[in-house]
A = this chain, B = another copy of it.
């Protein structure tokens, strides 16, 4: 766990206000019920981590190096921060510009606080996983592999996308006591060409000859996995078979290439070039994304990424080929840069087109 004074040295402010849910979890293990309602702030000053929250969270667990400040009814967070600033003679307070709302900034500034906006101040720390974090991610990946093995025999024509998504979720939760990392995407035929297809709102039904995209993640001990595999239900035709083998080849080569990449942007470039060689179109999403406490976090694997490859990073590689109105395919693995600097693929379910 990062300590407060080390963090304050890197951001060069006297104190720091953390508002983002997952960053609070990362620094203190303290968790409010809802990641998306503002139920706690973390104030870092000197070597202290002070979690400011309300009476509902009295007695809630947190790390030994942090403390809980419980707001009185009617007491405002800003007032507490103001008092802490006086007590510790704080001049500048860093804050997460990419998370703090404008109204929050305005009310803190009204109190006379000198706020310094910093974007994603923890993203670099979080992108390098500790052994425990990696262990949790590996477990999430392993559960995902098992779930795919468990459910594929039950896929058949006549079934809806929703039913398969629910089968997946039930297997993750009932079978393995884990959770979904995000709403599973199960997309049949033309729906597969919509990279962020909303299965819950969709009405797709599997038919004989359908091509099925399954993109899902597991959350185990707070850490996420992400995997995409493709299923052919019966005869999907030569074009699909051929394109799939080209896509698979490109994805595998990209993982090999990642071994020697220095900048993560190179991985994105390489993968797109590989597809181009076979006259396959580009895809509208990035080649991959960091993953950990959140499904999407640092580093970026895209054309605009400036991140370097580093030992301990965990990210996905997930190129796709999309034929609008016909079908879409994507192959995605979660992988890590090992201590030896090598790429270790953590999602192990076979990548060949699953033929049913």
What is the interface of chain A, defined by CB distance below 8 A to chain B?
31-37, 39, 54-59, 73-74, 95, 97-103, 105-106, 117, 119, 166, 170, 173-174, 179, 182-183, 194-198, 200-201, 284-285, 296, 303-304
Please tell me if the beta carbons of B103 and A119 are within 8 angstroms of each other in the complex: yes
Known: A36-B35, A194-B59, A284-B73. A99 touches B101 (CB 8 A): yes
26 A-B pairs within 8 Å (CB atoms) are namely A31-B201, A33-B196, A35-B36, A37-B296, A39-B196, A54-B284, A55-B284, A56-B194, A56-B196, A56-B285, A57-B196, A73-B284, A74-B303, A74-B304, A97-B101, A97-B102, A97-B103, A98-B101, A98-B103, A99-B101, A100-B101, A101-B101, A102-B105, A103-B119, A106-B117, A166-B174
Known pairs A31-B201, A54-B284, A100-B101. 13 more at Cβ < 8 A? A33-B197, A37-B296, A56-B196, A56-B284, A59-B194, A74-B304, A97-B106, A98-B101, A98-B103, A102-B102, A103-B119, A170-B170, A179-B200
CA A283 – CA B108 in complex, angstroms? Answer: 28
Copies of the chain in the assembly: 2
Contacts of A101 in B (CB 8 A): 97-102
Residue of B nearest to A21 (CB): B36
CA A102 – CA B99 in complex, angstroms? Answer: 7
Contacts of A99 in B (CB 8 A): 101
CA A182 – CA B196 in complex, angstroms? Answer: 23
Least CB distance from A115 to B in Å reads 8
Contacts of A34 in B (CB 8 A): 182
Contacts of A284 in B (CB 8 A): 54-56, 73
Contacts of A303 in B (CB 8 A): 73-74
Residue of B nearest to A59 (CB): B194
Least CB distance from A93 to B in Å reads 13
Residue of B nearest to A174 (CB): B166
Contacts of A285 in B (CB 8 A): 56
